[in-house]
Amino acid sequence: MFFLLLAGLALATAFALGVSHSKAHAQTLDGVTYSMNVTDCPGYTLGSLTESVYGLTAQLLLAGTACNAFGTDVQNLTIEATYQSQTTLHVKIYDTANEQFTIPDSVIERPAAPNTSFTRSSDLVFNYDAKPFAFWITRRSDPHSMPIFDTRISSLPSAPIPPFNASDPRTAFDAFPLVFEDQYLQIASALPHGTNIYGLGEVIASSGFRRDIGTDGGIGTIQTHWNRDVADPIDQNMYGSHPIYLEHRFNETTKKASSSGVLLLSSAGSDIFLQTPASSEVSLIEYRMIGGILDFYFFSGPTDAEVIAQYGATIGYPTWQPAWGFGFHLCRWGYANISEDMANVAAMRAANIPLEVQWNDIDLYHAYRDFTTDPVTFPGNELGQFIQNLTANHQHYIPIVDAGIAVTVNSTDVYYPFSDGFEQDTFITNPDGSLYIGQVWPGYTAYPDWFGEKTQAWWTDALRNWSEMGVDFSGIWLDMNEASSFCSHSCGTGANLSALAPLSVVGTVVSGYPECYNDTLWGPSGNMTINGTSTNSCAAGTTTTKSRRGVGAAGQPNININTPPYAIHNGAGALTINTLATNATHYGGYAELDVHNMFGMMEEKATHLALQSISPGQRPFLISRSTFPSAGKWTGHWLGDNFSKWQYLYLNIQGVLQFQIYQIPMVGADTLWLQAHCTCFVDGNTDEELCNRWMQLSAFVPFYRNHNTYANASRTAIAARYSLLPYWYTLFANASTYGLPPVRALFYEFPDEPELFAVDKQWLVGRDILVTPVLTPGATKVNGIFPGRGSVIWRDWWTHAVVNATPSANTTLNAPLSHINVHVRDSSILLLHQNPAYTIYETREGPYKLLVSLDKAGAASGNAYVDDGISYPPGPSRILTFQAGNSTLKIESNGKYSIPQMLETITVLGVKKPTNVNLQGKALGNWSYTPSTEELFVYNLSMNLTLDATLSWK
């Protein structure tokens, strides 16, 4: 749903709150003087150290006079370095008193402590200097290469370094000490000059999938992590926070690449800088955080897919997806009534455009309230019958759930989701214990407190009651869960709750201002300074700064943690704009400032568990907007409120690639801001050409949710997608079991080809399917690179013809409006559906076919995972292994799941014309050969896939 611009507040000067690094004036708050500069920060010295078979634990002592740059220096730290596995090293630096916020294990489950020693076998080696304390991570297998992570000041560029953005003094690097304060943490690492960095989202980066590190004409990157509701901005923070990066390091001498990964598991608001100072021989990454601890995980790879899998092993592999989730989803914001839903479903059937899932946005609700239906436009009995009809046709229904729960306006207002939650203390509060009241679509709203002891049961009951009222959903769409609020602070506290009506599409302007801001004196800007004059209207002594950051910080009396001294580069400006105030208080005393970035993930977890309870034994299907590490265990993701423009057609690709790194592989794009979460909704300049191209592209990404399709492009694209369903399903089984990414950048599979490192207009589905979409208007041709530098045969998916590709450079391909270029890699064997049908159920009920694409040596391999597509946890399964070589194809079948559908056809590409074909040693006559594509086609096989088989040709 779109980001609502609030009058006045949206015009607040970005980053008005807080002070910069460089040339800042010291500030004295609550008796503590903050220098606002890290130049004189002393760093730390190593104290006592204890080694074990699993790693080491040591004490760190502040090495000199406290600098109190943007907070109060912590005198005593503890560092733990644990060799978690052969490929994962955990380095945790925290305050010895344990007062800083740390993500509870109950929120994100971490790997158990190792019971095997990896200190001498791990490929990662922890090294340290005692004074000043610094550490660096090297590879045991390549000890002389530049470290993977290196915090030594001698390894970093000389400081001070002036701002790389002259208008923003915070882009200076004054010094590189380890800084650990209650309100500010800083640590930096050297990186190889111009290395390839990916991740650190969620972001739409103008540089593309590869992040700008300040070389080759780039300006560097500031990645801010502070989740917010905003219509897909470029180069700003947005819905989710994922502080993990993948480094793909290429050795110019050996011409070989290796990859590693770094996760900083923190929910604190932060800036992460990627930069290469002028004349520096190294690049750098610097973390600046406004709370928490330094909780690093290092992953050795050495391949990109292995780094991603190692990250998944740490924070949790993606949830198992139901087979129907890969079908075509239809949605729109703006359905006037249930009749329009019915008409859409009927129109899709009449046009023979497959439809798997019908969705509804908030127009379903009564007064925009969660867990309701409008009694006039979406009466419960009619909606229930509509859903029953979908179910009878093996189709599905998904409604939306927003994060804000409407507050009842008076004693006669009956709304059980709120009243039950209020009685059970399931909502976030103000520091004084009163209800925190923000404002979203239904008017004044409360927000679930996912830390609450009774919140899970209350949330489950709300969803269950809704389902039993006739909204028999197959999955849930979670929106506005950054969490979004259309006013700043608890604007409903003390207000006349009945005075604010639900918003329309145009919206009602709600003015809410930060504490101590008086709009009658200073106007609507909301800035904390105007023309250099403070707008603070509070009497001296009525507010104080925080004295500590641990549990209970928000609940302390007379405390203000809404304006941390260091101002991260939040695109909205003040941290409280369009979201909850940072002093909002959660169960257990947690401050919103510390847990803000986890709201969406915690809602996803609660909803996933609720759906497991409501529909036991079935896989929950969720799509959500705001995400954080481990969210993929619970949900998929859509890329938010982007625009129906050609630019965003391209930008969506980097989003899909990013979320493979983040272990949230069920991801896809919508388009059109303000009107619909749907690809190809015609608005403004959106036309049939863009809609066709978007439908084609979306058919080859995991989540496929669109609207207002054009028949020919839709049928063709969906048919190809449904044919590939066994391949998609196998890729996602591997993601849920091993953490391997279903969608891959080209260099993942071809790591030693630098020309691929920046490619983000093409992608691979698994290792075998190369997609090259048209991304510009009016084009009838498209350029694409074919990896392998001539060593790989790429065949056209549609015609099976071998492409005449230019090695290491672009090849021009024909791309008429009805066509998207898709190519199959040699050495691959794909299990496919023979007859793509109207629904996933009908498609799965039909027969299979096999496509074999031989390499130059006549070899190929592949596998397929098959189960019932719905059971949770997964039940019996079968793994099919395919191996081709020496003019023979062998099929090996293992498992307990019985596959009733038969294998009807086998196509083998790259075969010289045979004289005879044999199955299980018996000659076949039911085959044909096409010389132009070197294609052997064997048909009418009716092979049982629960049995092993051998096909040969001579």
Active site residues: 479, 482, 641
> How buried is 178 (Cβ within 10 angstroms: 0-12 exposed, 13-18 middle, 19+ buried)?
buried
Contact 398, 359 (CB under 8 A): yes
Could you tell me how far CA 634 lies from the centroid of its own chain?
12
Helix-strand-coil split of the chain, %, nearest 5:
20, 30, 55
* Tokens (6 digits) for 56: 């080491």
DSSP codes joined into one string, 555-614? TSTT-B-SS-SB----TTSSTTTTB--TT-B-TTS-BHHHHGGGHHHHHHHHHHHHHHHH
Contact 651, 688 (CB under 8 A): no
* Eight-state DSSP code of residue 159: S
Contact 503, 2 (CB under 8 A): no
- Residue of 504, 489, 498 whose CA lies nearest to 437: 489
DSSP H helical ranges for 416-454 = 416-423
Angstrom distance (rounded) from CA 538 to CA 517: 8
* C-alpha Rg value of the chain to the nearest Å: 28
Neighbours of 127 (CB within 10 A): 14
- Residue of 623, 599, 619 whose CA lies nearest to 611: 619
* Tokens (6 digits) for 305: 């897919």
Angstrom distance (rounded) from CA 449 to CA 469: 25
Angstrom distance (rounded) from CA 883 to CA 852: 9
3-state secondary structure of 312: helix
* Tokens (6 digits) for 855: 């390499």
Tell me phi and psi for residue 864, to 5 degrees: -145, 140
Could you tell me how far CA 714 lies from the centroid of its own chain?
27
Angstrom distance (rounded) from CA 360 to CA 636: 17
- Count how many Cα atoms sit within 13 Å of the Cα of residue 287 in the half-sphere of its side chain: 30
Neighbours of 36 (CB within 10 A): 21
Contact 633, 660 (CB under 8 A): no
295 sits in the region (left: phi over 0; alpha: psi -120 to 50; else beta) called beta
Angstrom distance (rounded) from CA 323 to CA 396: 12
- Residue of 338, 194, 316 whose CA lies nearest to 265: 316
* Tokens (6 digits) for 710: 């054009």
Angstrom distance (rounded) from CA 712 to CA 718: 10
* Eight-state DSSP code of residue 934: T
Please provide the size of the chain in residues. Answer: 954
* Tokens (6 digits) for 366: 């009564």
Report the side by side order of strands in the sheet with 476-479: 667-668, 636-638, 622-624, 476-479, 396-402, 357-360, 329-330, 705-706
Contact 232, 2 (CB under 8 A): no
3-state secondary structure of 731: helix
Strands 405-406 and 438-440: unpaired
Angstrom distance (rounded) from CA 862 to CA 727: 10
3-state secondary structure of 539: coil
Q: Please state whether the peptide bond connecting residue 873 to the residue before it is cis, i.e. omega within 30 degrees of 0.
A: yes
15 sits in the region (left: phi over 0; alpha: psi -120 to 50; else beta) called left
